Amino acid sequence: MSTEKKVRAILIGAGNRGTNYATLAKESCPEFELVAIADGNHVRRDYVQQMHGVPDEACYDDFHELLAKPRMADLAIIATQDKLHFEPAMMAIEQGYHIMLEKPVAPTPWECVQIAEAANKKGVFVCVCHVLRFSPFFRMIKKLIDEGRIGDIVQIMFAERVGNAHMSHSYVRGNWRNSETSSPIILAKNCHDMDMLQWLIGKKCTKVQSFGELTFFNREHMPEGAPEFCVQGCPAADSCPYDARRIYLQDRMFTEHATNKKNPTDEDILRAITETNYGRCVFQCDNNVADHQVVNLEYEGGTTVSFNMCAFNTGGRHIRIMGTKGEIVGEMGDDSVRFFDFYTRDAVRIKSSDMFTEEELDGGHGGGDRGIIRTFCDYITGNYHGNSLTPIDTSIESHLIAFAAEESRLNHTVIDMKEYKQRFLDEQK
Ligand SMILES: NC(=O)c1ccc[n+]([C@@H]2O[C@H](COP(=O)([O-])OP(=O)(O)OC[C@H]3O[C@@H](n4cnc5c(N)ncnc54)[C@H](O)[C@@H]3O)[C@@H](O)[C@H]2O)c1
């Protein structure tokens, strides 16, 4: 890796994701130089400013101010909330920045397509943060497939088990609870999975069908006498897995996210569950996103996929890939896969360390978030030789699959992807 060329970057949105990338860049990318930040939340902005020594005059409250200035860096990291991706992305493209854009690209198909068109026209690289592509687990699976170890992929069973507590935090109480204010869960959460399927299969999706709904986290399941906030004394608190005092105060789950603070105190947490959505009864929120959904997909060449997203489990991704010569089965948390060869009848467990050198794993590519920022720096310095960075057109393909799945779920239809794209392009004319 060359350390001569600097990678100058600006950060738009210094929230959880923005701070995370800033921290990882500090740790793993000596060539990374943060030159400006935009975020009106001064606590968060100050934290990143101090970490990278950004001068006061290069800190802005709003991305409009920063992006009105002439281009000052190679890279713009855009980590604002879902509905605030389109505008900064279009402005940054216009200025000629390469972009690391948080997923989802945008909450509507048309905005997604516009971003891709603008990026292609300007000749800038817009990479969506599909961090799973950088995890040792999926890189290992991709390598096994690319080496032809399982022959042609015939079918995949893929499950994204959201985890019941994570569901309650992010998709019932939290930022991604309502598709009107963020995006449908199949886009917000599962655009990663749609991207992963496309990456592994390497062919276009032809048909999509989906079922699912919000079954449990609604007023129908509210315990009798439950107050609006758990701290108000709920008669069901002792047996409710979603009691906010238990999740946040006792078990200390998701506390930094709920309080917007590093190492929050009991007082901070109590304030969050008394005054913000994170303390609400999960059966009385304004959530509307599905808590379970299945998607059936057909790809060119007849490969079929069944994909499951469900809230009611401990969490984690599971995949079973069935090919003409063998099968791969993996549990993401294990960081290993079981490979079964039909000819030799050998079933072996393969770990990422069996497939990658220590340098490949430790050279910044080991983890998802760290991997993407490290790799993006390599891209800008001309040292990128991998296959993990997602080109914007590829991300748009997988986003459109997620939008089609949502349409299918709502309208009970099977969607032909070619017709869907054409219809949607015609509608925009
Ligand atoms: N790639 C992944 O795996 C992954 C995981 C989680 C979240 N995300 C996505 O990352 C994005 C950010 O999520 P987050 O949890 O960090 O959100 P967040 O709310 O913690 O951070 C967003 C930040 O944007 C700032 N902001 C708001 N308006 C602004 C403006 N006009 N100009 C500049 N800054 C502004 C806010 O003050 C906030 O600090 C979301 O789109 C989310 O869906 C991606």
Could you tell me if residue 401 is inside a domain? yes
Flag whether pLDDT at 1 surpasses 50: no
Tell me the CATH number at 11: 3.40.50.720
Could you tell me if residue 87 is inside a domain? yes
Instruction: Report which DSSP code applies to 249.
Output: I
pLDDT digits (tens, 9 = 90+) for 319-356: 999 999 999 999 998 879 999 999 999 999 999 888 87
Q: For ligand 1, is residue 17 a contact (CB within 6 Å)?
A: yes
Q: For ligand 1, is residue 129 a contact (CB within 6 Å)?
A: yes
- Alpha-carbon distance of 199 to 92, in angstroms, equals 27
pTM reported for the whole predicted model:
0.94
- Alpha-carbon distance of 143 to 281, in angstroms, equals 45
Could you tell me if residue 60 is inside a domain? yes
Residues 73 and 106 in one domain: yes
In this structure, what is the dihedral angle of CA atoms 342, 343, 347, 352, given to the nearest 10 degrees? -90
Residues 65 and 106 in one domain: yes
Beta carbons within 10 angstroms of residue 388's beta carbon: 21
pLDDT digits (tens, 9 = 90+) for 96-125: 999 999 999 999 999 999 999 999 999 999
Smallest CA separation from ligand 1 atom 33, residue = 39
Could you tell me if residue 186 is inside a domain? yes
Flag whether pLDDT at 381 surpasses 70: yes
Residues 49 and 188 in one domain: no
Q: For ligand 1, is residue 44 a contact (CB within 6 Å)?
A: yes
**Which whole number is the average pLDDT over 126-144?**
92
Could you tell me if residue 360 is inside a domain? no
Could you tell me if residue 161 is inside a domain? yes
Q: How far is the CA of 234 from the centre of ligand 1 (A)?
A: 32
Q: For ligand 1, is residue 38 a contact (CB within 6 Å)?
A: yes
Q: In the prediction, which pLDDT does 369 show?
A: 81
Residues 75 and 199 in one domain: no
Residues 249 and 299 in one domain: no
Q: How far is the CA of 79 from the centre of ligand 1 (A)?
A: 5
Flag whether pLDDT at 364 surpasses 60: no
Q: For ligand 1, is residue 103 a contact (CB within 6 Å)?
A: yes
Kindly write down the DSSP assignment for every residue of 170-207, as one continuous string: IIIISTTS-TTTS--HHHHTTHHHHHHHHHHH-S-EEE
Q: In the prediction, which pLDDT does 361 show?
A: 64
**Which whole number is the average pLDDT over 70-94?**
97
Lowest mean pLDDT across 3-17, 63-77, 119-133, 189-203: 3-17
Give the residue from 330, 364, 365, 325 showing the smallest Cα distance to 345: 325
Smallest CA separation from ligand 1 atom 38, residue = 15
Residues 187 and 209 in one domain: yes
Retrieve residue 69's tokens: 């200035």
Residues 178 and 65 in one domain: no
Q: Which of 39, 60, 101 to mutate to test the pocket of ligand 1 (most atoms within 8 A of CB)?
A: 39
Q: Which residues does residue 209 pair with via DSSP β-bridges, in sequence order?
A: 296, 414
Q: In the prediction, which pLDDT does 134 show?
A: 86
Q: For ligand 1, is residue 131 a contact (CB within 6 Å)?
A: yes
Which atom of ligand 1 is nearest the CA belonging to 82?
41
Residues 176 and 204 in one domain: yes
pLDDT digits (tens, 9 = 90+) for 249-290: 999 999 999 998 889 999 999 999 999 999 999 999 999 999
Could you tell me if residue 76 is inside a domain? yes
Q: Which of 23, 48, 81 to mutate to test the pocket of ligand 1 (most atoms within 8 A of CB)?
A: 81
**Which whole number is the average pLDDT over 310-327?**
97
Q: For ligand 1, is residue 84 a contact (CB within 6 Å)?
A: yes
Residues 17 and 83 in one domain: yes
Q: How far is the CA of 87 from the centre of ligand 1 (A)?
A: 14
- Alpha-carbon distance of 281 to 287, in angstroms, equals 11
Residues 119 and 201 in one domain: no
Kindly write down the DSSP assignment for every residue of 250-278, as one continuous string: IS--SHHHHHTSSS--HHHHHHHHHHSGG
Domain span holding position 410:
152-216+288-323+391-428
**Res. 367 pLDDT band, cuts 50 70 90:** low
Residues 208 and 249 in one domain: no
Q: For ligand 1, is residue 81 a contact (CB within 6 Å)?
A: yes
Could you tell me if residue 133 is inside a domain? no
Q: For ligand 1, is residue 63 a contact (CB within 6 Å)?
A: yes
User: How far does CA 397 lie from the centroid of its chain?
Assistant: 16
- Alpha-carbon distance of 23 to 16, in angstroms, equals 11
Count of domains observed in the chain: 3
The mean pLDDT value of the chain amounts to 94
Lowest mean pLDDT across 52-61, 72-81, 347-356: 347-356
Smallest CA separation from ligand 1 atom 27, residue = 80
Q: In the prediction, which pLDDT does 262 show?
A: 82
Q: For ligand 1, is residue 62 a contact (CB within 6 Å)?
A: yes
76 contact partners, CB below 8 Å, separation of at least 6 = 9, 10, 11, 12, 67, 88, 92, 97, 98, 99, 100
**Which whole number is the average pLDDT over 196-200?**
96
Flag whether pLDDT at 149 surpasses 80: yes
Per 3-state DSSP, what percentage of the chain is helix, strand, and coil (rounded to 5)?
A: 45, 20, 35
**Res. 175 pLDDT band, cuts 50 70 90:** very high
Q: How far is the CA of 56 from the centre of ligand 1 (A)?
A: 22
Residues 311 and 167 in one domain: yes
Residue at which a domain ends, from 128, 163, 181: 128
Q: For ligand 1, is residue 130 a contact (CB within 6 Å)?
A: no
Flag whether pLDDT at 176 surpasses 80: yes
Which atom of ligand 1 is nearest the CA belonging to 130?
1
Q: For ligand 1, is residue 420 a contact (CB within 6 Å)?
A: no
